Amino acid sequence: MRPEISPLGNFPRWLFLLVLVFLATGFLTGCSRRSDRADLVIINGKEVESLDPAIITGQPDIRIALTLFEGLTRYNAVDAQAEPGLADRWEISPDLRTYTFHLRTNGVWSTGEPITAEDVVYSWLRVLNPLTAADYAGNFYYIKNAEEYNTGKITNASEVAVKALDRSTVQVELLNPTPFFLELCAFQTHVVMPRWIIEKHGDRWIHARPLPSSGAYELLAWRLEDRVSVRKNPRYWDAANVQLERVDLMPVNSPATALNLFLTKQVDIIWDKDVVPTELIDLLKKRRDFHVFDYLGSYFVRFNVTRKPFDDVRVRKAFALVVDRQRITERVTRGGERPASFLVPPGLPNYQSPAGLGYDPGEARRLLKEAGYPDGKGFPRVSYHFNTSRSHEMVGVELQEMWRRELGIEVELRSMEWKTYLRAQSELDFDLSRSAWVGDYNDPNTFLDMFMSSNPNNRTGWKNLDYDQWMRKANASSDPAERAKFLSAAEALLVRDDPPILPLYIYVGFNLFDPDVITGLYNNIRDEHPVRSIKKRARSTARAGEGNP
């Protein structure tokens, strides 16, 4: 069991000073290792909720699911672009609407059965089945009749345009040209899952043992509040290029615990930024084993527009106009995050986000008065929800003070356990909620489509028909310049004209690993690091913290 250490904001002063000494000198304490230590141990962030690829939404869950299951394509380790996975080749029709995939002849389940085209079709239709209630079902809506089936407008799954032409050929018909479709085929919702196990065990199929795997690893053990252990799948089609036999992924909530485990060499990698201690970023940046990189992720606040007072756009704008984003990135996050009044991160091809609402307290007070709350008088009690984390709490404290000082409004801060927080968002049981989104693929659509009226990930109650129309026009366009124009018009509604969200900043990625020991882990804008590609050398006698930062 890992040592119990209190969260960073509360742990003892002597321990804090000791950590500072470790960081400043690069000294690593030795410690006894577990006799059953895996070849690689990773701190994975929060406790996973599920490993069922059809229903998971959290990054910790997704990382593990993608070690166990694979899609027609998979993520390249270097740049997270799509490359052949269970399909070794495909053809795309001249009108860019029909994809024909050919499965590998050596693609088999970890239990020995062949992976077939019927398995692919079953897996995709299961996500779309309304009874599955998959939050990411919208990622299939680019396929003909997928949305209609998912929303109950049609009930015959065979009308969805994904077909098994034979045991090794899958054909998909899209509504419109979709430039990111091959990337979607690597996403967790599109992986291939074992039909016979699901039909036998129902919703608890992921607990079946042995659990057939279509990916590079198979599940060895899942111990709550301890670790998920996976072992190399010897039947994986690319097993020859998978080095590590066993990998443990540990759930850790406390930055202090995470850092202690890393410094004492009990873990090899910290790859969840929520457990990197914000207070120590400046010192961490001086270490060779601390890595900072551009990241396709946005941090923002959701408004619940279905209840007062945030059903009034003037109130939402007022709350946005008094937020000093630069203060948050300089005083709280301090990792190089970019203050942003827009949602879509920069750097995506053929797209530039429109400016959102900037800092204008005078206009904010005017709007609040116009909405019937002069100087905050008569404003109802509201709360700001965030999942338990020191860094999220610090952001909340800054927002709370800005709203109090500039608007005269007191906002209660509510820290919530991860599962409770997710449930409150999905059930619209909040006023204001901390939110973030990490791009599923390298296209603005991955950030913008979730706020369409029918998308389960909307989680604001916001429905704007003009927004839906701009998004549909973008989806139908095959001209990059025209498509960008439509997407920009949609984003302007989202962040400026009728905002259901309050963008705060664009993420940077952090992780900790010794580059002299860990190879095959490449930092990229997607923060995708396939475990199958990671390799480990014998630890050198050099101290990991030494060298140039």
Instruction: Compute the residue count for the chain.
Output: 549
* Per-residue confidence band for 273, with pLDDT thresholds at 50, 70 and 90: confident
* Per-residue confidence band for 9, with pLDDT thresholds at 50, 70 and 90: very low
CATH entry, 296-507, from 3.30.420.40, 2.30.30.230, 3.40.190.10, 3.10.105.10? 3.10.105.10
Find out whether 292 and 335 touch, Cβ atoms under 8 Å: yes
Q: Which pLDDT score, from 0 to 100, does residue 22 have?
A: 53
How many C-alpha atoms does 274 have within 13 Å on its Cβ side? 22
Q: Which pLDDT score, from 0 to 100, does residue 541 have?
A: 43
Average pLDDT score over the chain: 92
Nearest Cα neighbor of 43 from 545, 510, 548 is 510
Query: Taking phi first (over 0 means left), then psi (-120 to 50 degrees means alpha), and beta for anything else, what does residue 107 get?
Result: beta
Give me the mean pLDDT over the 297-326 stretch. 98
Assign domain 51-205 to its CATH architecture.
Answer: Alpha-Beta Complex (3.90)
Domain map of the chain by residue range? 51-205, 296-507
H or E stretch covering 297: strand 290-303
How many C-alpha atoms does 72 have within 13 Å on its Cβ side? 28
Residue type, 522: Y
Give me the mean pLDDT over the 487-511 stretch. 97
How many C-alpha atoms does 199 have within 13 Å on its Cβ side? 6
Give me the mean pLDDT over the 187-198 stretch. 98
Which pair of structure tokens corresponds to residue 248? 């443990």
Longest Cα–Cα distance in the chain? 70
What digits encode the pLDDT tens for the residues 36-90? 899 999 999 999 999 999 999 889 999 999 999 999 999 999 999 999 999 999 9
H or E stretch covering 90: strand 87-92
Give me the mean pLDDT over the 210-223 stretch. 98
Q: How far apart are CA 253 and CA 250, in angstroms?
A: 10
pTM strictly above 0.85: no
What digits encode the pLDDT tens for the residues 224-270? 999 999 999 999 999 999 999 999 999 998 999 999 999 999 999 99
Roughly what angle, to the nearest 10 degrees, separates helices 255-263 and 13-25? 50
Find out whether 351 and 483 touch, Cβ atoms under 8 Å: no
